[in-house]
A and B are shown apart, each in its own frame.
Chain A
């Protein structure tokens, strides 16, 4: 994926679609984990979710943007 993508002639950082994709992924993950009740196993669910999101976004950003 390039560093900048053109959307209708407007250059936006390539990280933006990655960010949105990660948000979507996070919502899906939340749905699955929420149904299974797994967040009860961690000490601070919101911190855990933020950390999980940072991991997802960091990994996706590093791997996808060349």
Chain B
């Protein structure tokens, strides 16, 4: 596989390349610091000018939402608006239900926050923010009004206005002032994905790919597909052009996955034929493959131009049937013809898919979008039991805190609960929550100390907004700067949040050291408890418990392919398998036995699942198919599904026999090719089924 140049290299004229690199990195970091400070101060000024109650809520919102990439800020903001509105509505409803019953109120609030934190773990993009913020807003709306239930409506209106103002300012500033576009990164990634796939297909024209290389490539392809979908989901907020192409990009990703599956199935088939003593058929298929390699090699200058490739592939599709007929005439044995037909059908499907993929990629590069395309979705594999563990943990944290608050009459219980609410949600989605909590707590404490200096040493005596900026900016910029360093994840965010929160800007400013210290201690206690809860109820993300379940879920996809309703099943199947696969592989050590067995299973599920879907689509489309054939084919898919559900030798035998019987029943119909492919996948001695295949007896081998 040739390497793909992702970014055009900068001419090496600079004498100290590391210096240029360092300065470029610093420049990006300081632009982000400048934007964050600008947004925070504009937000504070506007909040004071509009006479909102707590300008600090607005500033906290800005500091939570800010991110170096504008698309991310807009995506976060969008979900945060939804979360805020949902949370404040729930807070109002809760307060009006239990104005006097504190126990019930706290129980329901804890449950709500816990459910939101659980929801946050289900999503791996900024939708999780929406959930975190829905919990947080319910708390900030109701807790300050605890002793004055009648004031809850005003409190809700104030908090929502403050939060929305913060979001608006953050979005406008990050979109207008030196915007760092994610769009460019998306384009580069999409281009790299396309080039990688085309190069891979071209370079494997020889037809013989070692299984390990195929597994490796498939892993890279799955990663690329998931990453592209993640980026697309953020960039649509940043760029109306990408938004207008969103449906197309989804379809492109799906076509890419479909073509990758066909390609992999074809190669496995050829490899099996070579191993199992039909090299003549394998050679015929490789000969058939050659025109595809030629179509993909239009010369160096054009080899990644999708429009050129699409035209050439179209010609290839038109010429293939004639070549199929010519090559088929050379084979005489019925079994060899069946093997060849199966491979040829797969190759035709692959070339057609590749052509559609290239044509769609070409249409994405045009300035104008013409017509409309099929709507598809990238289905994610969510882990419900894992999320329930998160719900349980957060619920316990919140119940313990509120019980302590109620029992002790702690005047600053509200602060502790608020902070615990935010961090239970944010940490729940983190793969390593305890170290994240430690980092955040360090940053938070440092931020509070800095704020103490600012409030009691620099600020007193100041009379206007300029003095406020002068007094606080020097300490404020540490936070955003730290958050651009990858070596200290969470410290920068914690610092900014702690600084802004305890600064508690008000108009006019209130100076009360005792309140400051009490509030600070309560907040630290809240974060520490949210972090400590992860020791009691450990995080499941990346644990072997979750991996085992996701692995089973992955195998279940083959069962779904055999039984679920066909509507949109192909898309759902392809994306879900990739998403699950990518999630599990992220937490396995590359090259370990576990990782290799995962890869092997993922390939098997993809190949068999896709074949079963094609088979079922054919069954659904052809009304002329005899009932006996239909029943036999359905029985075969169900037997294979049972095998995937719970693999063992007996089920493997049943599945093999059922598929065999179906092939015998479906004498000369196109169905037969899918069934033969299914059988060949079952009998693959390099697949995970190798462990279940009984040693071949003379009469059953090659009896198809």
Contact = CB atoms under 8 A, between A and B. Distances in A.
Given A30-B240, A49-B240, A35 B368 contact: yes
B369 interface: yes
Interface string A33-62: 111110110001111011000000000000
Interface string B143-186: 00000000000000000000000000000100110010000000
Contacts of A50: 172, 175-176
Interface in B580-624: none
25 contacts: A30-B243, A30-B244, A31-B243, A31-B244, A33-B240, A34-B239, A34-B241, A35-B244, A35-B368, A35-B369, A36-B368, A36-B369, A37-B241, A37-B368, A37-B369, A39-B240, A39-B241, A40-B367, A45-B240, A46-B70, A46-B175, A46-B179, A49-B240, A50-B172, A50-B176
Contacts of A47: 176
Contacts of A44: 176
Contacts of B241: 34, 37, 39-40
Interface residues of A, number: 15
B159 to A, nearest CB: 16
A40 B179 CA distance: 16
Contacts of B175: 46, 50
Contacts of A46: 70, 175-176, 179
Say which size band chain B's interface belongs to: 10 to 19
B475 to A, nearest CB: 30
Contacts of B245: 34
Contacts of A35: 244, 368-369
Contacts of B244: 30-31, 34-35
Contacts of B240: 30-31, 33-34, 39, 45, 49
Contacts of B243: 30-31, 34
Interface string B355-386: 00000000000011100000000000000000
A34 B249 CA distance: 14
Interface in B224-272: 239-245
A53 to B, nearest CB: 10
Contacts of B369: 34-37
Contacts of B242: 34
B65 to A, nearest CB: 16
Contacts of A37: 241, 367-369
A26 B241 CA distance: 14
Interface string B84-96: 0000000000000
B333 to A, nearest CB: 55
Considering the complex of A and B, which 4 residue pairs feature the smallest CB-CB distances, nearest first?
A34-B244, A34-B240, A37-B367, A30-B240
Nearest to A31: B244
B234 to A, nearest CB: 15
A60 to B, nearest CB: 18
A36 B245 CA distance: 11
B704 to A, nearest CB: 52
A30 B241 CA distance: 8
B384 to A, nearest CB: 33
Contacts of B179: 46
Nearest to B74: A46
Given A36-B369, A40-B367, A46-B175, 4 more contacts: A30-B240, A34-B243, A35-B369, A47-B176
Interface string B313-348: 000000000000000000000000000000000000
A31 B242 CA distance: 10
A44 B240 CA distance: 13
A35 B369 CA distance: 5
Interface in A2-39: 30-31, 33-37, 39
Nearest to A30: B240
Nearest to B242: A34
A40 B244 CA distance: 14
A30 B175 CA distance: 15
Q: Which of B70, B240, B243, B367 has the most CB of A within 10 A?
A: B240
A47 B175 CA distance: 8
Contacts of A39: 240-241
A41 to B, nearest CB: 10
B517 to A, nearest CB: 39
Contacts of A30: 240, 243-244
Contacts of A34: 239-245, 369
A37 B240 CA distance: 9
A31 B70 CA distance: 19
A44 B175 CA distance: 10
A12 B367 CA distance: 42
Nearest to B238: A46
Contacts of A36: 368-369
A50 B74 CA distance: 14
Interface string B49-71: 00000000000000000000010
A46 B70 CA distance: 11
Nearest to B174: A46
Nearest to B243: A34
A6 to B, nearest CB: 15
B371 to A, nearest CB: 10
A39 B368 CA distance: 11
A29 to B, nearest CB: 9
Contacts of A31: 240, 243-244
A57 B434 CA distance: 47
